[in-house]
């Protein structure tokens, strides 16, 4: 499935119509969740039952009837997705919270299936034909939607973002595999001092997108509270603030894409740490820096390009990888401030490079571990001492990190969408 995204250009009343369709989608989803909550125990609620409930809502509420019937079904499918995920977490005895479905307050998209819209013959405009009166809007972008048959477009989604409205096309095509330029093997050790250190001794700099923009973000946030509530100036200030976070999110996505593609293009095997990021961000002194570096996003793009380029990607339990000597296998205890690995066997390496070599060795010992995340099967890892060392290091040999320090959490990012070449 390929996702192509265009910027939508329309008139003010069309934007208001899109907002109304988004609100209706949120209403249908929340009503479906309430319907599931209030259903008697002997009544089985499944995806079909929720789709039938959307028909009942169309008869009861006029503003729901104005939305395309398949868009209403797509809204109930969102509710069923949350319910099904909750059931799955309960059956698998997932530790901690199971993700009980909650009511949505900030929906930002409406999704159409194969009806309710029509592409203009030039395929540079799209017409929405339901009663929400969105009408015809322009599509701004350079993607090649015109090269795909209309029948292959399975979903059309209108999304509201901080800098405007976007139209996303989900195209059902087979993703073409590409040939690699090399067949190397690489281990990756991610961290906060460097974005990652590999088993060849290369250190990729941490871009710190949030840290660099933090001063401007705080200024924009203060401007919000100086404006009177309910006024246009306050809404404009909120939009400026949201745009700054959106820019950071896009920077992280593009950075992760570029690095993941480069690594998978040049290597037949890439091993990385399977970190419990959700547990690690509970340390409020490090949460902002951990979220800013975006390890999870990077690993997702690694898995994506691994499939596209035929690379084996292996998630390794990082326990003791920082303490173990990559040359002789001896355990060399190191404090959090020690950044150089020195062993009695004569091996002397930068701490993260030593860990990266150990990660690669673990992956090779498994023989291309079949539970690689590239196949979509996650591996579980407990938060061990080595992970704490990885993220909590304040290096004597790297005073710049220690001087800057790390502080509290920043806004979580989402995996960006758009065509990946």
The mean pLDDT of the chain is 83
- Residue where one domain finishes, among candidates 171, 199, 219: 171
How many beta carbons lie within 10 A of that of residue 70, not counting itself?
19
Helix (H, G, I), strand (E, B) or coil at 352: helix
Is 404's pLDDT higher than 70?
no
Rounded mean pLDDT, 184-205: 90
Contacts with 367 (C-beta within 8 Å, 6 or more apart), sequence order: none
Q: With cut-offs at 50, 70 and 90, classify the pLDDT of residue 146.
A: confident
The pLDDT of residue 137 is: 95
Measured CA to CA, the distance from residue 358 to residue 281 in angstroms comes to 25
Measured CA to CA, the distance from residue 46 to residue 51 in angstroms comes to 9
Q: What is the pLDDT of residues 100-128, one digit of tens each?
A: 999 999 999 999 999 999 999 888 999 99
Higher pLDDT, 384 or 109: 109
- Asked if the structure places residue 239 within a domain, the reply is no
How many beta carbons lie within 10 A of that of residue 68, not counting itself?
22
Domain carrying residue 94: 2-171
Q: With cut-offs at 50, 70 and 90, classify the pLDDT of residue 367.
A: low
Measured CA to CA, the distance from residue 421 to residue 254 in angstroms comes to 12
- Asked if the structure places residue 325 within a domain, the reply is yes
Starting at the edge strand found earlier in the chain, the sheet holding 109-112 runs 109-112, 153-161, 164-171, 2-9, 135-140, 125-128, 117-119
Do 36 and 14 touch, CB atoms closer than 8 A? no
- Asked if the structure places residue 304 within a domain, the reply is yes
Residues 82 and 202 in one domain: no
Rounded mean pLDDT, 59-85: 95
Helix (H, G, I), strand (E, B) or coil at 335: coil
Q: With cut-offs at 50, 70 and 90, classify the pLDDT of residue 399.
A: very low
- Asked if the structure places residue 315 within a domain, the reply is yes
Is 374's pLDDT higher than 90?
no
Residues 277 and 387 in one domain: yes
**What CATH number is attached to the domain comprising 309?**
3.30.420
Domains: count for the chain: 2
Residues 17 and 82 in one domain: yes
The pLDDT of residue 156 is: 95
Q: What is the pLDDT of residues 335-350, one digit of tens each?
A: 777 778 888 787 888 8
The two structure tokens encoding residue 119: 């592409």
The pLDDT of residue 79 is: 95
Q: What is the pLDDT of residues 269-281, one digit of tens each?
A: 999 988 888 888 8
Residues 104 and 190 in one domain: no
């Amino acid at each position: 499935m390929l996702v192509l995204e265009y910027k939508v250009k329309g008139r003010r009343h069309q934007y208001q119509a899109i907002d109304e369709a988004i609100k209706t989608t949120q209403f249908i989803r929340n009503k479906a969740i309430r319907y599931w909550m209030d259903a008697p125990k002997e009544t089985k609620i499944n995806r079909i039952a929720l789709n039938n409930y959307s028909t009942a809502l169309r008869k009861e509420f006029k503003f729901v009837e104005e939305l395309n019937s398949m868009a209403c079904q797509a809204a109930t499918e969102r509710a069923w997705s949350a319910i099904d995920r909750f059931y799955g977490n309960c059956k698998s005895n997932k530790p901690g919270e199971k993700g009980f479905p909650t009511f949505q307050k900030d929906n930002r998209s409406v999704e159409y299936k194969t009806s309710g819209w029509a592409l203009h013959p030039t395929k540079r405009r799209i017409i929405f034909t339901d009663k929400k009166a969105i009408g015809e809007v322009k599509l701004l972008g350079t993607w090649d939607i015109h090269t795909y048959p209309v029948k292959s477009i399975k979903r059309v989604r209108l999304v509201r973002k901080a800098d405007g409205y976007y139209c996303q096309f989900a195209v059902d095509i087979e993703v073409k595999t590409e040939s690699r330029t090399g067949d190397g093997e690489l281990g990756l050790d991610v961290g906060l001092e460097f974005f990652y250190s590999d088993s060849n001794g290369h250190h990729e700099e941490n871009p710190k997108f949030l840290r660099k923009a933090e001063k401007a973000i705080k200024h924009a946030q203060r401007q919000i509270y100086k404006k009177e509530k309910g006024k246009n100036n306050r809404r404009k200030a909120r939009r400026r603030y949201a745009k700054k976070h959106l820019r950071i999110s896009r920077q992280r996505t593009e950075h992760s894409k570029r690095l993941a593609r480069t690594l998978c293009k040049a290597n037949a095997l890439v091993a990385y740490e399977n970190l419990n990021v959700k547990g690690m961000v509970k340390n409020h002194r490090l949460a902002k820096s951990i979220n800013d570096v975006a390890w999870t996003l990077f690993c997702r793009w690694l898995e994506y390009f691994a499939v596209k380029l035929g690379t084996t990607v292996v998630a390794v339990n990082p326990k003791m990888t920082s303490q173990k000597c990559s040359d002789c296998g001896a355990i060399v205890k190191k404090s959090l401030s020690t950044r150089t690995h020195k062993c009695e066997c004569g091996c002397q390496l930068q701490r993260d490079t030593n860990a990266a070599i150990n990660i690669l060795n673990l992956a090779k010992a498994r023989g291309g571990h079949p539970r690689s995340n590239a196949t979509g099967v996650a591996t579980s890892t407990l938060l061990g001492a080595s992970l704490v060392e990885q993220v909590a290091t304040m290096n004597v040999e790297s005073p710049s990190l220690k001087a800057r320090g790390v502080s509290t959490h920043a806004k979580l990012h989402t995996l960006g969408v758009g065509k990946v070449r």
